[in-house]
Amino acid sequence: MLRVEHLQARYGRSQILQDVSLHSGASEVVCLLGRNGAGKSTTLKCLMGLLVPNAGAVSLDGAAITGLPAYAIARRGIGYVPEERLIFPKLTVAENLSMGIWHDRSQVPASIDRVLGYFPRLKEKLRARGNTLSGGEQQMLSIGRALMAEPRVLLVDEPTEGLAPVIVQALERTLLALAASGTSVLVVESKLAVASRIAARIYVMAKGKTVFHGKPDDLQDNHEIRREFLEV
């Protein structure tokens, strides 16, 4: 579904991504794991078209999407949940969700109903402004907004960061349910425990490169990779 080959990207003069290759298929959760500064979030920004790569290729179902602007990538069926959540603070929850549909507003009510199935807690908050929500609710809203257009691939950046364990469990269940419904879910994560619970496959990133690829059990058994690239 989503394939990334030898991706490179820079901010100004610093080359942040050196060589990133990965693949995320239908109906699976894939985790991108690594320490802070490894280039995980930058990778997602490149995939979403928010940063133009200076080398490498990204394709969706075989069609090249490298270097396309964000709106064009979104329209091809990729959803994005940024680390900062980027809720529109003065719009209501319902309006924030409706922002997830760019093309046909007649689909908004049915899509909101579908998304509320994943996040029933948002139902009673539909009229509340985005800036009045708790961190967990904001994360649900951010994911819900990305799901409005039924993306084939969902990019999620550190969804569990700073959230209470009970919310983390709920989000993990949601991501697994999404994958079970056919979506390709690519999650950036910094905690091995979370990645091990949800991922079918894990990529480890360090210094802008993908340095390991395997199943969670493979990573558990690989002390060298864990010690060198994951443990603090």
Partner 1 sequence: MSSHVASLLVAGSLDALTYWSLAFMVAAGLTVVFGMLGFLNAAHTSFYMLGGYVAYTVAGATGSFWAALLLAPLLVAVTGVILERLLFAKLYRAGHASQLLLTIGLAYVIAEASKLVWGDSAFAVAPPPSLAGRITVLGATLPVYHLFIIGAAMVLVCVIAALLLGTRLGMVIRAASVHPEMVGALGFKVRDIYTLVFAVGLYLAAFAGVVMAPLEGVYPAMADDALVQAFIVVVAGGLGSLPGAFIVAGLLGLVQGFGSVFFSAYAMFFPFTVLGGVLLFRPVGLFGAKSA
Question: Residue 56: what are its φ and ψ, rounded to 5°?
Answer: 100, 175
Query: Between residues 22 and 44, which has the closer beta carbon with respect to partner 1?
Result: 44
Q: Considering the rule CB under 8 A, would residue 99 count as an interface residue with partner 1? A: yes
Q: Considering the rule CB under 8 A, would residue 103 count as an interface residue with partner 1? A: yes
Report the Cα–Cα distance between both ends of the chain, in Å, rounded.
Answer: 33
Query: Between residues 88 and 176, which has the closer beta carbon with respect to partner 1?
Result: 88
- Helix/strand number for the chain, H first, E second: 9, 10
- Please state the closest distance from residue 90 (CB atom) to partner 1, in A: 7
Cα–Cα distance, 5 to 58 (Å, whole number)? 6
- Please state the closest distance from residue 170 (CB atom) to partner 1, in A: 23
Query: Between residues 50 and 176, which has the closer beta carbon with respect to partner 1?
Result: 50
- Please state the closest distance from residue 34 (CB atom) to partner 1, in A: 22
Cα–Cα distance, 14 to 65 (Å, whole number)? 24
Cα–Cα distance, 75 to 140 (Å, whole number)? 22
CA angle 146, 100, 137 (to 5 degrees): 55
Q: Considering the rule CB under 8 A, would residue 75 count as an interface residue with partner 1? A: yes
Interactions with partner 1, residue window 130-189 (CB under 8 A): 145-146, 149
In the chain, alpha helices (H)? 40-48, 70-75, 93-98, 108-118, 135-147, 165-180, 192-198, 216-221, 223-225
Residue 230 DSSP code: I
Query: Between residues 74 and 178, which has the closer beta carbon with respect to partner 1?
Result: 74
Interactions with partner 1, residue window 6-65 (CB under 8 A): 48-50
| Footprint of partner 1 (CB under 8 A) | 48-50, 69-71, 73-75, 80, 82, 86, 88-91, 95, 98-100, 102-103, 105, 145-146, 149
